[in-house]
Structure 1
Amino acid sequence: MFSEPEEPTATRMRRARATACAALKVEDAAQNPIWGYAGRTLSGLVHGSEEDGWLRVVSETAARAGGRLWEGPRTASFALPASVPRPALHRIHDWTEEGWSYRAELYAYAPASVVSPGPVLDTDLDLSEAWWAGLGTALDALAAVPTDRVSMREEYIRRAVAEFTGHAVGGIPWSTAHGDLHWANLTGPELLILDWEGWGRAPYGFDAALLHIYALRAPETANHVRKTLAHFLDDPAVRVAELTVCAQVLQAADRTPFYAALADPVRRYLKRMGRGAV
């Protein structure tokens, strides 16, 4: 989803992936490994003695390692029900080297592909009705999961919504969310939800709102989101979540190309929502 980072980050992360493969006794089979933002993660296919797997290596400076994002995939692996489809996390290996901390996460390999190469859609998707039904079931189950993890901070919501949308936020209804459920974190034709770093409490309906707004440039898919997730999106309580997603897009539009492409549709959507306190 992101381009290869500059040196020395690229070499350091390739070396870390080799270390992880040796520690977990798997063979690197990734012809085109997938880079995370600024080279923070490196992921790809591996061969094991009995089955293929997917190896994700995440890095952070030793002083900053740990915490919510670091532990998100591990906590999701045991906290979420089977009705929330995701790759099984088999093993974790941690180590520190030359001032950097690393975590290697070995997942079951899923042959499904992400439904979009990037977070924001610019063309409509052709997905089965079973896929859409499964998405609705998954988000219902996820919203009901009890957790003390925080995905979205209230302080940020109130500040960003006011600054970037002109709306004031009153009471905030909360539920459990993935927190970054964009189109490159969903697979098809088999539905799996990827990247559980940031899951936790967020404004009610946040995942549904994000999927809908990130599909505004693909109107048929946006309509399908509204139909499938109407029990979230037609609820007035979801308005805070919608405004939060809009604020995030507009805040990052001047530095992230896919947000820049979405900025005008978001501004038009905000006009249709109208102004005022929520």
Structure 2
Amino acid sequence: MRAAHGMACGALGAVLDPRPSGAPPEAWGWRGRTLGRPVGGPYGPAWLRVVHSPVNKADGKLWTGPEDAERLVPRQVPRPRLRRVRQWTQGEDAFKAELYDRVVGTTVAPGAVLAVAPSLPAAWWDRLRVTLDLLSAVRTERTVVRQAYLDRAMPRYLAFLDGPVPTTPPRWSTAHGDLHWANLAGPDLSLLDWEGWGAAPAGYDAALLHAYSLAVPETARRVRRELATVLDTDAGRFAELAVITELLQSAGRGDNLALVHPLRRRAAEVWPRTTTGV
């Protein structure tokens, strides 16, 4: 991946920035699928991310997400602008280089699961609420979660709840789809990593951010308070159960094991107030 990043620098006329202000020297994506580094280039301070995929999977939702977002998501949704893209293959491997404007500030946390309560201004939370509202109205054929998945997975991973689990969301809307603390910047809000955005149960982003906050109860309470207009509804409670389903499933693959008990506890709290019909 580092060799591919070097090739991408050459192709896009970028050079590594040895002393970036506020940016990490490099950032790895899930299981090493992506590598991002701060660079200088034709647009000034930038962030160059390289994505890897097997050639036969280099045309799906995750591969095209950032470019689709650049075309379809309104600029009022704060995010780094995608400036240039290059793609190439090496044998069975496909690579894509994406050159973004560099975000001012830093990610709220180094990883998806929050470990320490962040100090974020009220204006950050205000803009997050507005941003999620704007994004929810974007029209797209992309999907984050499919109904067939909910029908199959929710009864299985929420079987510990008392009674049949509803699997049909009250509403669908557009979501970022991976709204965790390492994909949010501050103190000026910016949403990073637009690979997987698309349609999801309404309230999905708020529910996901809350789930990734459960290890820090103070912040989980803050999320519930700040995003109450989303989470404290039938749609929001359903979204929480859907998100909990996904994260419990991922824990079965060894991811985010520290969240298993808080997720099960939160599902038991939400379940009695869920009125969506089966």
Normalised to the residue count of structure 2, the TM-score between the two structures is 0.90
Partner of 2:249: 251
Among residues 237, 240, 261, which one is paired with 2:238 in the alignment?
A: 240
Partner of 1:267: 264
Among residues 220, 223, 226, which one is paired with 2:221 in the alignment?
A: 223
Deviation at 1:271, TM superposition (A): 1.6
1:70-219 correspondence to structure 2 within 5 Å: 70-166=63-159, 167-172=164-169, 173-219=171-217
Partner of 1:36: 29
Root-mean-square deviation (Å): 1.7
2:50 touches 2:97 (CA, 8 Å); kept in 1? yes
Question: How far apart, CA to CA, are the structure 2 residues paired with 1:24 and 1:147?
Answer: 30
Among residues 4, 7, 23, which one is paired with 2:11 in the alignment?
A: 23
Question: How far apart, CA to CA, are the structure 1 residues paired with 2:42 and 2:70?
Answer: 23
Distance 1:139 1:49, change over 3 A: closer
1:238-277 C-alpha deviation (Å, 9 max, x unpaired): 22211111111211224435x2111111111122223685
Deviation at 1:170, TM superposition (A): 4.5
1:132 corresponds to which letter in structure 2? W
Partner of 1:48: 41
Question: How far apart, CA to CA, are the structure 2 residues paired with 1:63 and 1:16?
Answer: 19
2:262 corresponds to which letter in structure 1? P
Question: How far apart, CA to CA, are the structure 1 residues paired with 2:74 and 2:128?
Answer: 14
Deviation at 1:50, TM superposition (A): 5.4
Question: How far apart, CA to CA, are the structure 1 residues paired with 2:52 and 2:211?
Answer: 30
Which stretch of the first structure deviates more once superposed, 197-206 or 90-99? 90-99
Partner of 1:6: none
Partner of 2:2, secondary structure, is helix
Partner of 1:5: none
Normalised to the residue count of structure 1, the TM-score between the two structures is 0.90
Question: How far apart, CA to CA, are the structure 2 residues paired with 1:169 and 1:77?
Answer: 35
Question: How far apart, CA to CA, are the structure 2 residues paired with 1:102 and 1:249?
Answer: 28
Deviation at 1:49, TM superposition (A): 4.6
Question: How far apart, CA to CA, are the structure 2 residues paired with 1:65 and 1:21?
Answer: 21
Distance 1:199 1:49, change over 3 A: closer
Question: How far apart, CA to CA, are the structure 1 residues paired with 2:79 and 2:239?
Answer: 24
1:158 touches 1:168 (CA, 8 Å); kept in 2? no
Distance 1:63 1:170, change over 3 A: closer
Partner of 2:96, secondary structure, is strand
Question: How far apart, CA to CA, are the structure 1 residues paired with 2:271 and 2:201?
Answer: 19
Partner of 1:63: 56
1:193 corresponds to which letter in structure 2? L
Question: How far apart, CA to CA, are the structure 2 residues paired with 1:145 and 1:57?
Answer: 27
Give structure 1 stretches of 5+ with no counterpart: 1-12
Aligned-pair identity in percent equals: 46
Establish whether residue 14 from structure 1 lines up as the match of residue 11 from structure 2: no
Partner of 1:86, secondary structure, is coil
Deviation at 1:79, TM superposition (A): 0.8
Deviation at 1:85, TM superposition (A): 0.4
Partner of 2:38, secondary structure, is strand
2:150 touches 2:168 (CA, 8 Å); kept in 1? no
1:30-53 C-alpha deviation (Å, 9 max, x unpaired): 673211223211111011155111
2:4 corresponds to which letter in structure 1? A
Partner of 1:76, secondary structure, is helix
1:84-121 C-alpha deviation (Å, 9 max, x unpaired): 10001000011112221111000011131110111111
Question: How far apart, CA to CA, are the structure 2 residues paired with 1:256 and 1:119?
Answer: 14
